[in-house]
Amino acid sequence: MTMDSRDKKEPQEISESLEKALHLMEQTGDESPEDIKRQMDDPETLEACKLLYKYKNAMGRRAAAKPDVGAEWERFEKRNRPRGGRPRRQFWLGSLAGAAAAAVLVVAGLWWAGYLDKPEAVMVYQSTDAPRDVILETGDGALALDVTDDKQLSALQGVASRRDTMTLAYAADNKTVPDELHTLSTPSGKDFKLILADGTVVWLNERSRLQYPARFGNGERKVSLRGEAYFQVSRKAGGIPFVVETDRMQVRVLGTEFNLSDHSGTRSHLTLVKGSVEVCGTGGGDYVRVKPGEDVSLNDDGSFDIHRVDTDIYVYWKEGYFFFDDTPLSEIMQQIGRWYNVDVVFDNPQAMLLRLHYFCKRSDGIESALNQLNLMQKVRARFENGVVHID
């Protein structure tokens, strides 16, 4: 049957199986063909059936084959027949069991009769053609950073590397270092450790960007972040504050450890591990004090939500792991897509709402990450032609 023929289908062409399914909606025994036509022509009835279908799909009860509605009808009548043997006559909402059966069978009938469309696939992450190298931008231009290249590093005054930990370190209070801003950017699949001139240690997660002074003066220490980073801020003599700015949030600290995530398209939030910080929106407003063990997230209206959390969940990434606890699958797959730089498509959009506990080593590759997901037997994840499909 073509789509055109489905669109033109008249109510009188409804199959006998579908009529039986519709019969469950009201067991009065007085239904006529005109009654059935009227129900199928009623936009509200069809809309209700669509909603029932979405609910059924969200609960994971997707039909794997064309249903035997006749057999289901016989089983339903036997379960609901009074002891006297005479079928009950009552509206279907009088029984929750009847309502559930009606929902499943009506939806199944509409599906096979062509009155419902399959849910459209949803892409939650799209891969990019961004550079695959760690990029360092200085006053002399941009370069693909290689911490094992001594010649490259010698051209960067006051900068050293630690090859064993892939770390770039700036010398403290070195007057020969130019008074300029540097920018470090990480690609998909790579994180990086950076030691700033004041001794602050920054772990920069994948697809992130940090702008910072090559050397700090005597005033406020300020850096700018896009993406996600873990900060271990050194306490400066004289109580000089350390400020982190993102597109949506400003964080002010003295000496502390915290994780800050501000990826575009996701909720901006900060998780405090040690010390004390104050946050406010870049649009202004009062600062909010955050305590260790709390996660503060920024709402669209500029207000903040603060919750007690297990901070380890938010910082496992710097140890090389994906770690999620009771997290929507859509958020999990966004991070997986961003790390491996692959498209992620939900062929079953209702699966986006599943909340999962998930743990996986990032360096093991995309196939391992998806196999770990499939072991939960909640969804089916596959990697085909550079695209991750979830259904």
Measuring CA to CA, which residue among 256, 193, 186 is closest to residue 221?
A: 256
Predicted pLDDT at 274: 94
Measuring CA to CA, which residue among 310, 316, 201 is closest to residue 257?
A: 201
Which residues 6+ apart lie within 8 Å of 8 measured at CB?
Answer: none
User: Which DSSP state fits 32?
Assistant: -
Kindly report, residue by residue over 76-135, the tens digit of the pLDDT.
455 545 555 444 444 343 444 455 555 555 555 554 555 456 678 899 888 888 778 999
State how beta strands 242-245 and 221-233 pair. parallel
Q: Give the burial class of 242: count Cβ atoms within 10 A of its Cβ; 0-12 exposed, 13-18 middle, 19 or more buried.
A: buried
Measuring CA to CA, which residue among 181, 177, 179 is closest to residue 155?
A: 177
- The pTM assigned to this predicted structure is 0.65
State how beta strands 387-390 and 343-346 pair. parallel
Q: Give the burial class of 288: count Cβ atoms within 10 A of its Cβ; 0-12 exposed, 13-18 middle, 19 or more buried.
A: middle
Predicted pLDDT at 47: 53
Q: How far apart are CA 203 and CA 190, in angstroms?
A: 11
- Where do the domains of the chain lie, and which CATH numbers do they carry? 3-117 (no CATH), 135-316 (2.60.120.1440), 320-390 (3.55.50.30)
Backbone torsions φ then ψ of 151, nearest 5 degrees:
-65, -40
Element (H, E) at 80: helix 69-80
Instruction: Give, for all 391 residues of the chain, the pLDDT tens digit.
Output: 444 443 444 444 434 444 444 444 444 445 555 665 566 566 655 555 544 444 444 444 334 334 454 555 555 455 545 555 444 444 343 444 455 555 555 555 554 555 456 678 899 888 888 778 999 998 888 888 877 777 776 667 667 666 555 688 888 766 777 788 999 999 999 999 999 998 999 999 999 999 999 888 777 799 999 999 999 998 876 678 899 999 999 999 978 999 999 998 888 999 999 999 999 998 878 899 999 999 999 998 889 999 999 999 999 999 999 999 999 999 999 999 999 999 999 999 999 999 999 999 999 999 999 999 999 999 999 999 999 999 9
Measuring CA to CA, which residue among 151, 149, 147 is closest to residue 134?
A: 147
Q: How far apart are CA 48 and CA 103, in angstroms?
A: 10
Are the beta carbons of 268 and 279 closer than 8 angstroms?
no
Angle of CA points 209, 139, 163, to nearest 5° = 60
Q: How far apart are CA 261 and CA 298, in angstroms?
A: 11
Are the beta carbons of 254 and 238 closer than 8 angstroms?
no
Kindly report, residue by residue over 340-357, the tens digit of the pLDDT.
999 999 999 999 999 999
Element (H, E) at 387: strand 387-390
Q: How far apart are CA 39 and CA 48, in angstroms?
A: 11
